[in-house]
């Protein structure tokens, strides 16, 4: 399949982007917020307004608890939770608001054997490649049920350390290739700034947007997907390959400016 060219946020025609859009989907880290940090006030405000105008999804490699602290807990009184779709762990889980609480719609969990193999392969290959740090801030390998995540510096590492660890993504991609060769039955991909994620085969952000479109009865092409890692090999790129109207940002500041324009367009 040929590569997809994803335009930057400031090069898209927002009027045309919104014309047939039925859902706006977002990556989380480095798109709505910095890694593990809650959305800032300007983002929380415009994001909440957006949910009052159109269906909105957040599809992230992070676990559900992070979606809660980074997004849900930052919603303002203008938010319409019934229009918000939460898909943590790269879309392997899906939560909806039922009027009182967030409920699990589906989960594609790994088996005990698959999780054990994933953990062993990640640690052994990371050690062999010299990227198993002597010191880490929290867990290096986290079992999220439907996803195993390797964090080179630990789950709680400072943002600055994470972003400086692998600026070219080469370390993550090398580790992902080695583990994928040993676990061909599983999906292994670079994740955030310093992580590698493992889930069921074929369950990634491409799967997530297709599944969401099917559940909501819309075409994938009517989903706008906004993310920062939109190059081939990036963890947002599968959403572009699935046929969404993909848009690239370089950080939350870009996303706020783009959402300002989208809200203005949808409000007219």
Domain around 130? 112-200
Are 80 and 53 in contact by the 8 Å Cβ rule? The answer is no
pTM: 0.87
Beta bridge partners of 102: 97
* Helix ranges, the chain (H): 14-19, 41-51, 64-70, 112-128, 159-165, 170-182, 205-216, 237-241, 252-267
In a domain, 1, yes or no: no
List residues forming the annotated binding site for alpha-D-mannose 1-phosphate: 144, 195, 197
Number of independent structural domains in the chain: 2
d(CA 230, CA 209): 15
Tokens representing residue 156 in the block: 């709680």
Q: Is residue 234 in a domain?
A: yes
Q: Kindly state whether residues 102 and 218 are assigned to the same domain.
A: yes
Between CA 95 and CA 88 the distance in angstroms is 8
Is 248 a member of any domain? yes
Q: Per-residue pLDDT for the chain (268 aa), expressed as one digit of tens each? A: 578 899 999 999 999 999 999 999 999 999 999 988 999 999 999 999 999 999 999 999 889 999 999 999 999 999 999 999 999 998 989 999 999 999 999 999 999 999 999 999 999 999 999 999 889 999 999 998 899 999 999 989 998 999 899 999 999 999 999 999 999 999 999 988 899 999 998 888 999 999 999 999 999 999 999 999 999 888 899 999 999 999 999 999 999 999 999 999 999 8
Mark whether 3 is an active-site residue: no
Q: Which of 3, 10, 13, 29 is catalytic?
A: 29
Q: 27 an active-site residue?
A: yes
Whichever domain contains 256, its CATH number is 3.40.50.1000
Residue at token pair 């370089």: 250
Identify the DSSP state of 38: P
CA distance 124 to 102: 37
∠ CA 138-144-150, nearest 5°, is 50
């Amino acid at each position: 399949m040929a590569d997809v060219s994803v335009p930057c946020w400031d090069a898209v025609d927002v009027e045309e982007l919104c014309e047939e859009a039925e859902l706006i989907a977002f990556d989380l880290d480095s798109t709505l917020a910095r890694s593990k940090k809650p959305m800032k006030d300007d983002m929380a405000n415009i994001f909440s307004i957006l949910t009052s105008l159109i269906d909105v999804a957040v599809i992230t490699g992070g676990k559900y608890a992070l979606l809660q602290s980074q997004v849900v807990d930052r919603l303002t009184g203008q938010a319409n939770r019934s229009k918000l779709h939460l898909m943590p762990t790269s879309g392997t889980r899906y939560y909806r608001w039922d009027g009182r609480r967030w409920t699990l719609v589906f989960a594609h969990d790994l088996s005990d054997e698959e999780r054990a193999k994933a953990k062993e392969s990640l640690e052994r290959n990371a050690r062999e490649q010299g990227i198993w740090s002597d010191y880490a801030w929290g867990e290096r390998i986290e079992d999220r049920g439907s996803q195993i995540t390797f964090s080179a510096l630990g789950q709680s590492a400072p943002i600055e350390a994470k972003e400086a660890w692998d600026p070219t993504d080469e370390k993550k991609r090398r580790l992902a290739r080695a583990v994928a060769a040993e676990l061909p039955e599983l999906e292994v991909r670079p994740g955030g700034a310093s992580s590698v994620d493992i889930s069921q085969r074929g369950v990634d952000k491409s799967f997530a947007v297709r599944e969401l479109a099917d559940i909501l009865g819309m075409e994938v092409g009517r989903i706008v997907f906004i993310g920062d890692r939109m190059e081939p090999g990036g963890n947002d790129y599968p959403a572009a390959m699935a046929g969404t109207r993909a848009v690239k940002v370089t950080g939350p500041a870009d996303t706020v400016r783009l959402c300002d324009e989208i809200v203005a367009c949808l409000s007219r």
